Amino acid sequence: MNTGPRRRSSFSRIFAGSLLATCCLLLSSCVYLRLLEFKQQLGDFDRYFTLKTEDGLRLTCLTPVLLTEDFRWLGLTPETVKTLGQSERWRIRWVKQLRPRAKESDAHDIELQLVFTDGKFTHLFLPERYFAFVPKPFFTGLLRSLGKAGVDKRRRLAEINFTPEERALLTTRVVATSLAMLLGTPSEQTVENTDTLLRYRYAPVPPESKNGVIDMTFTFDNATGQLQRLNGRSPVGQIAFNFEKPPATVPASPNP
């Protein structure tokens, strides 16, 4: 029996599948390389970005590297898109998930506006309402700190540790009451040993989008009321901001 055509057909399918998989891997690698370059730019913030804080927070990329398709590859889907000449303005939004039977008089959500010019990410905007109860230096400090994040690719985790001076500057006015005024009632509140954990979960808008759920946990020290940690989870990975003072080291005992 002549099985040549069948074998050739099978080989063609395998070859085509391998080629597709290779293309996907190459595409993913390109995305990671651009994300790495963007992270390196954040490490030299004032050279690559400008920041305006008069009305909301506006970040401008002076040397854009991330592409529109990079954000879609990361799973971000805009609620609305407005075309302005050679630019697109995306509005991305998540709405807080309340605890069962919980109600709030005001809507609490997360909204970002991204602008892409000629297919590259050039601007980020956060509305002024986010800074009524939490100071802008806290947000800008988190943004600048991303350039020094340690990245564990296997665990899909980015982690940032702050110096004592940075901690004092960023977290002085960020307390549980100010956070509650900004974000409303937490989706979940627990006490663990000497800490209180406030957890906020946000669902994407529209619900069928691929943005996935954002999960943020703020950890406050019960004795001082100071913010110790901020942990964020998204469909593409985790990020951890550590404000906690490192444990005091006990000097070694002298040799007898």
- Asked whether residue 139 is domain-assigned, the answer is yes
Residue 102 has a pLDDT of 62
- Asked whether residue 127 is domain-assigned, the answer is yes
pTM of the predicted model, to two decimals? 0.72
- In degrees and rounded to multiples of 5, residue 40 shows phi and psi of -65, -35
Chain center to CA of 45: 17
Residue 25 has a pLDDT of 39
Residue 23 has a pLDDT of 40
- Asked whether residue 253 is domain-assigned, the answer is no
Residue 167 has a pLDDT of 80
pLDDT digits (tens, 9 = 90+) for 205-237: 766 665 667 889 999 999 988 889 999 887 778
Alpha carbon separation from 92 to 78, 80, 82, 126, 210 (Å, rounded): 5, 7, 12, 11, 11
- Asked whether residue 6 is domain-assigned, the answer is no
Residue 19 has a pLDDT of 44
- Asked whether residue 203 is domain-assigned, the answer is yes
The number of distinct structural domains making up the chain is 1
pLDDT digits (tens, 9 = 90+) for 52-86: 998 899 999 999 999 999 888 777 788 899 998 99
- Asked whether residue 12 is domain-assigned, the answer is no
Residue 41 has a pLDDT of 94
Low-confidence ranges of the chain (pLDDT < 50): 11, 14-27, 248-250, 252, 256
- Asked whether residue 179 is domain-assigned, the answer is yes
Tell whether omega for the bond before 206 is within 30 degrees of 0, i.e. cis: yes
| Cβ atoms of residues 156 and 240 within 8 Å | no
Could you identify the residue written with the tokens 């901001």? 241
User: Could you give the 3-state DSSP secondary structure of residue 85?
Assistant: coil
- Domain boundaries, position 219: 31-242
Positions of E strands within the chain: 49-52, 57-61, 80-84, 87-96, 109-117, 120-126, 150-152, 157-161, 188-192, 195-205, 214-221, 227-234, 237-242
- Asked whether residue 118 is domain-assigned, the answer is yes
